[in-house]
Amino acid sequence: MPQSTQIFFILLAFFTLFSALCVVLFRSLIYSALSMIGSFLGVAGIYILLHAELVAAAQVLIYVGAISVLVIFAIMLTRQRSGDISLFFHKQAWVALPPVIVAAIVVVAVLATAGYNATTEMQNPVDEEIAALLFNEYTFPFELVSLALLVAVMGAILLAKREKKE
C-alpha cells in the first residue's frame, strides 16, 4: 500500500470505528442515527481506497440516502417516552461486552495467523466489467434480488399501514 493510501486508510478507519462506537454509546436515538450516517460515509471512503468506485457510489446512494432516511423516519414516527430513549447501560451492556471482546480476540487471532500474504494488489476491475458481470453472468440473481426487494417493500407497506377503523 502506498504511503498516502496508508494515511487515508488510517484516517478513514478511525473515523468509521469512532462513528460506529458513537452509534452504540449515544443515549439519544437521533444522535445514533446521525453517527450511523457518518460511519456509512467512512465505509464509502474505504471502498474508494479499494478501487471499488461503483460500490462507493451505491453505498452513498443506498445507505446514506435511503436507509438512513428510513431509520430517521421510523424514529420520528415512534416518538417515545423519555424513559425509553435512555434505556441504556443497565447491567445488560456490561454483560454483553465480555463475550463480544472474546469473540473479537478470536477473530483477530485467526486473521493475524491466517496465510493472507497477498501483498500484491490485484485491483478491482473497472465499472464496465462489474456491469458486464452483473448483467451477463449474474442476471438471474440480480432479477431475483429485485423480486425480493419488491416483495419486501409491499410487505413493509402492509405492515406499517394504519388499520381501518371499523
Q: Can you list the alpha helix ranges (DSSP code H) found in the chain?
A: 3-25, 29-49, 53-59, 68-77, 82-85, 91-113, 127-132, 139-160
In whole angstroms, give the CA distance from residue 68 to residue 31: 12
**Is position 112 an interface residue for other proteins (rule: CB under 8 A)?**
yes
**Is position 3 an interface residue for other proteins (rule: CB under 8 A)?**
no
For residue 6, give the amino acid letter: Q
Smallest gap from Cβ 4 to other proteins, in A, equals 13
In whole angstroms, give the CA distance from residue 86 to residue 144: 40
**Is position 16 an interface residue for other proteins (rule: CB under 8 A)?**
yes
Select from 133, 164, 165, 166 the one that contacts other proteins (CB under 8 A).
133
Smallest gap from Cβ 80 to other proteins, in A, equals 7
In whole angstroms, give the CA distance from residue 33 to residue 25: 11
Binders in 49-108 for other proteins, by CB under 8 A? 50-52, 54-55, 58-59, 62-63, 66-67, 70-71, 73-75, 77-78, 80, 84-85, 87-89, 92-93, 96-97, 99-101, 103-104, 107-108
Looking at beta carbons only, is 4 or 118 nearer to other proteins? 118
Set of cell numbers at residue 120? 500484491
φ and ψ of 28, to 5 deg: -80, 135
Smallest gap from Cβ 162 to other proteins, in A, equals 7
Contact pattern for other proteins over residues 22 through 41, marking x by CB under 8 A: -xx----x--xx--x--xx-
